[in-house]
């Protein structure tokens, strides 16, 4: 079955960096776009970044210039490099393929606080 395992979150000070990873299984990874989402407390899940099979990318305006999405098809893994983190980036981060399935992982918590 389709599975996603996110990792790499943690507590970081404003201005710091984190690199998230998402290991995927159960589908032909190289054939799908992959998306990072996040959900802050009391808010709806939102799209953060997407990378297509061609490696072209899209970003939410709020993270452009700070976050970079990448993928390793051999490892069936998608990454999110997050720099210049802000308190408003605090959320649980999830990945999914595009179009998204109902098979969400547990997510990884990112907390940006001094």
In tens, the pLDDT along 43-79 reads 999 999 999 999 999 999 999 999 999 999 999 999 9
- Per-residue tokens: 7: 């990792």
Residue 33 has pLDDT above 90, yes or no: yes
Euclidean distance between CA atoms 30 and 41, whole angstroms: 32
Residue with tokens 């009391």: 42
Q: Indicate the average pLDDT of the chain.
A: 97
Euclidean distance between CA atoms 102 and 106, whole angstroms: 12
Confidence of residue 95 (pLDDT cuts 50, 70, 90): very high
The tens digit of pLDDT for each residue in 15-31 reads 999 999 999 999 999 99
Residue 100 has pLDDT above 90, yes or no: no
């Amino acid at each position: 079955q389709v599975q996603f395992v996110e990792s790499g979150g943690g507590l970081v000070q404003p201005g710091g960096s984190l690199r998230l990873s998402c290991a995927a299984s159960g589908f032909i990874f190289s054939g799908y776009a992959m998306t990072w989402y996040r959900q802050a407390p009391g808010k709806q899940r939102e799209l953060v970044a997407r990378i297509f099979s061609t490696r072209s990318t899209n970003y939410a305006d709020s993270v452009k210039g700070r976050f970079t999405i990448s993928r390793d098809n051999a490892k069936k893994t998608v990454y999110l490099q997050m720099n210049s983190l802000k308190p408003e980036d605090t959320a649980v981060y999830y990945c999914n393929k595009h179009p998204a399935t109902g098979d969400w992982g547990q997510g990884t918590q990112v907390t940006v606080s001094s």
